[in-house]
Amino acid sequence: MKKFLTITLLTLVMMVFVACGGSSKKEKTDPTDEPTSEEPTNQAEEPSENPSEPTADEEDDGCTGISVDWSQLTMYQSNFFYLGEDPAVYLEFYQNENYTVSAGTYDLGTEDNTNYKTCSECVRYLTDYVEATDTENGHYNHIYFQKSGTLTIDGVDDNGNIKGTIAAKLIEVTIDPDEFTSTPVEGGACFKIESATFDSGWEEPCVPQCDGKQCGNDGCGGSCGTCKGQACSADFQCVPFDCKDIEFEDEAFELTGSTSYSATPLTTLGSPELEDSLQLRFYNEGIEKGTIDLGSEVNSNYKDCTECFLLLEDIDEDGYPSKIFFQESGELVFEDVKEDTYESKGHASLRLIEVEINSSDYSSIPVAGGKCYNVTNITWDTICVPQCDGKQCGSDGCGGTCGICDGQACSADFQCVPFNCDKIDVSEFELTEEEDWFGGISYYYDAYATGKGIGSESIPDLLEIAFIADELEKGTVTLTGDTENIGDAYVILYEDYDTENYEIGKYYFQESGTLDFTEVKAGTFESKGTGSFRLIEVDDNFFAAAGGKCYEFENISWNTIK
């Protein structure tokens, strides 16, 4: 769905039917394996020597009755329910492409349901768990799958939890790890679940309560009605508005993100110790000169709005407000707009009412008896004007550059001057190979400093040689500072690469140099070679930082061929 509200804001203890590895049988691993690290598990450390306690002597059909403790029935990925102990029982549902579960009674003995490959309602019983070793995954030695029986789902709640009953005969099978076809084991044992009731945490569906209400929350996250042009009183009736005016400084709005503005009211709205913020967020394809009706059908609810005002009152240290206000009506005027950006000049007048934001669909519901604010006139001018007077290079203050010094450095006073670079001893670096899926890069090689940092002595640095080409070839790659035409590879140095706090001190990008690939393993990015290059400090837009540092790497070598 559209918006994430960043207001900087059974167990089957049971029958565990763990679907190993995903939401589709074809994506599973060996069905006898233990659950992967991505799946929840409470696997017992010591497998039971006698995993199942018969409820009675073996019956005439040769099957042993078993009793399953359903008290820990849990849900995984909304369609698998399992208990990760020995024995384990798994309930799996493949009723539709969305892997949701529908209430009803299901015959476990139909032709499709008696094979694990084709079953839509599937029961597996696993025993004799073997712990993982260095060479083998943890797995169960014996698998039992349904031969007949009935599974009844009495209810499915809004969260996908289920309750119901089951009676089933389970026979020993093997399951092909690739095709998932189940094959009965000749002479294998069988077990029987006589009758069991399970519940994974099913909750009674919420019933909206709107009797006598004209507006406000229905108690289930929905609305009992909207008072167009009126407020919702504490007793859920539509009444005239009684709003407080709030004011802002001239041109109070600032562009705080690529598609958002923010401003602080002059008046303290709640606690004087906590900050308030008015935010304008755009969920559209761009802005144009003209007037926007904030009370239009599309803009009257946060769920659908394209130009959206939010007032956040009393924002705590974690970025969460005590109250949220959303536009009820008003006018947003763009007097001027910078093409292909969200930079603009304009003003707005609007009414904001207290709302709750539904966490599921982001709909805004007026709070009965909630507060109301009128913003009489807020103005802004976020159009950035480049400042390049007297500058030969460096940032223009608007994300652009005042010029590039070809073969020279950019001084602190934005003039082109000869380079004065420090030379880097690469003996402290170790080359490794990693995967990277960003920016079209297939693979890259990283070299990590061992502690004698370029910046801080205690924080390592990272040298990244990244490849964009579809494949690597022997020969020389020329490095340039032209970010628009980077070529097949590029080099970045991250100074003070703090992985613990996810922070980077400074960035350095190639200004010139070469990468010489003397040997390449066909069909891979494994290679052997040398490189020499100059890296200069750059800003967030990868333009040379005025007065920035410069480093030269000479004869760095690598060999990643396995």
DSSP string, 400-443: SBS---TTSEEPTTS-EE----EEE-GGG-EEEEEE--STT--E
Q: Are strands 416-417 and 409-410 parallel, antiparallel or unpaired?
A: antiparallel
Each residue's pLDDT tens digit, 356-372 = 998 888 999 999 999 99
460, 449 contact by CB (below 8 A): yes
Residue type, 375: V
Which long-range contacts (C-beta less than 8 Å, at least 24 apart) are formed by 502-505? 505/455, 505/456, 505/459
Least confident interval from 132-136, 255-259, 278-282: 132-136
pLDDT at 530 over 70: yes
Whether a cis peptide bond, with omega within 30° of 0, leads into 87 is: yes
Cα dihedral: 14, 19, 21, 23 (round 10) = -130
Tokens of 410: 């950019």
The C-alpha atoms of residue 508 and residue 544 are separated, in whole angstroms, by 9
pLDDT of residue 57: 42
Is residue 143 predicted with pLDDT exceeding 90? Answer: yes
The confidence score (pLDDT) of residue 55 equals 43
Answer for the pair 504, 524: CB distance below 8 angstroms, yes or no: no
List, for residues 534-548, the tens digit of each pLDDT value. 999 998 888 899 999
pLDDT-based confidence at residue 46 (cuts at 50, 70, 90): very low
Range of lowest pLDDT (50-64, 219-233, 308-322): 50-64
| Element (DSSP H or E) covering residue 144 | strand 139-156
Going by pLDDT thresholds of 50, 70 and 90, the confidence category of residue 251 is very high
Write out 220-242 in H/E/C secondary structure: CCCECCCCCCCEECCCCCEECCC
Is the pLDDT confidence value at 433 over 70? no
Instruction: Mark 37-76 as b/e (b = at least 16 C-beta within 10 Å).
Output: eebebebeeebeeebbeeeeeeeeeebbbbebebebbbbb
pLDDT at 357: 92
Using alpha carbons, list the distances in angstroms from residue 513 to 255, 406, 426, 541: 38, 13, 16, 21
Question: How does strand 344-357 pair with strand 231-232?
Answer: unpaired
Q: Is the pLDDT of residue 103 over 50?
A: yes
DSSP for residue 4:
-
Question: Does residue 416 contact residue 394 with C-beta atoms inside 8 Å?
Answer: no
- Determine the residue type at 231: A
| Element (DSSP H or E) covering residue 276 | strand 275-282
CA dihedral 295, 297, 302, 306 (to 10 degrees): -90
Distance between CA atoms of residues 90 and 99, nearest Å: 15
Question: Average model confidence (pLDDT) for the chain?
Answer: 81
% of the chain residues with pLDDT over 70:
82
What backbone phi and psi angles, to 5 degrees, belong to 446?
-115, 140
- pLDDT, residue 264, reads 93
pLDDT-derived band at 135 (thresholds 50, 70, 90) equals confident
What is residue 77's predicted lDDT score, i.e. its pLDDT? 65
pLDDT of residue 199: 84
Task: Look at residue 40 in the predicted model and tell me its pLDDT.
Answer: 38
> Residue 96: pLDDT above 90?
no
User: Domain residues of the chain, as ranges?
Assistant: 25-199, 231-381, 409-559
Question: What pLDDT digit, counting tens, does each position of 374-429 carry?
Answer: 998 899 999 999 999 999 999 998 888 999 898 899 999 999 999 999 888 765 45
Q: Is the pLDDT of residue 54 over 70?
A: no
Q: How confident is the model over 172-182, as pLDDT tens digits?
A: 999 998 899 99
- Cα 176 to Cα 29, 115, 179, 443: the distances in Å are 10, 11, 6, 34
Look at 19-33, 284-298, 309-323 and tell me which has the smallest mean pLDDT.
Answer: 19-33
Average pLDDT for 335-362: 93
User: Which pairing describes strands 190-199 and 64-65: parallel, antiparallel, or unpaired?
Assistant: parallel
Which residues does residue 150 pair with via DSSP β-bridges, in sequence order?
107, 167
pLDDT at residue 473 is higher than 70: yes
**Highest averaged pLDDT of the listed ranges 131-135, 423-427, 502-506:** 502-506
- Predicted confidence at residue 432, as pLDDT, reads 60
